[in-house]
Amino acid sequence: MRYIMWAIKLLVFAVVVLFAYKNMAPVDVQLFGSAQIVSVPLVVVMLVAFVAGTLLGVLLMLPSTWRRRREAGRLKRDLAKAGKASSQPAQPAPQVLPQHLDRSNLCNAKA
């Protein structure tokens, strides 16, 4: 299985290298207003756009990740407090059967 994963990684790497090789043509990048970057390889422009999008996605996920971590920490603290508060082990609740399933009623009904 490990060899299959390495083969897949090698294949993806080869595709990315071929894609970069085919997109080496220089392009002009026009920013806001009259700002312009001249003769930048297209693959560099696509790489910068990919990295910027990835960073934006990570930044948008951070608040919910922090919220989940805080909640997990609070729940762990509450669980530790509850464990310390009950020094004796919890006893199982007595099992109560409904009357139609009660064994004593079943035995009396047959007799």
Token look-up 């696509």 returns 46
Is 105 inside a domain boundary? Answer: no
Domain extent, residue 16, equals 2-82
Is 104 inside a domain boundary? Answer: no
Token look-up 């139609």 returns 100
- The predicted-structure confidence for 2-32, as pLDDT tens digits, reads as follows 999 999 999 999 998 998 888 899 999 998 8
Structure tokens at 61: 């996920």
Q: The whole model's pTM is what?
A: 0.57
Which is nearest to 44 in space by CA: 22, 12, 20?
20
Is 49 inside a domain boundary? Answer: yes
Is 69 inside a domain boundary? Answer: yes
What pLDDT does residue 53 have?
A: 96
Is 21 inside a domain boundary? Answer: yes
What are the backbone dihedrals phi and psi of residue 92, each rounded to the nearest 5 degrees, phi first? Answer: -65, 145
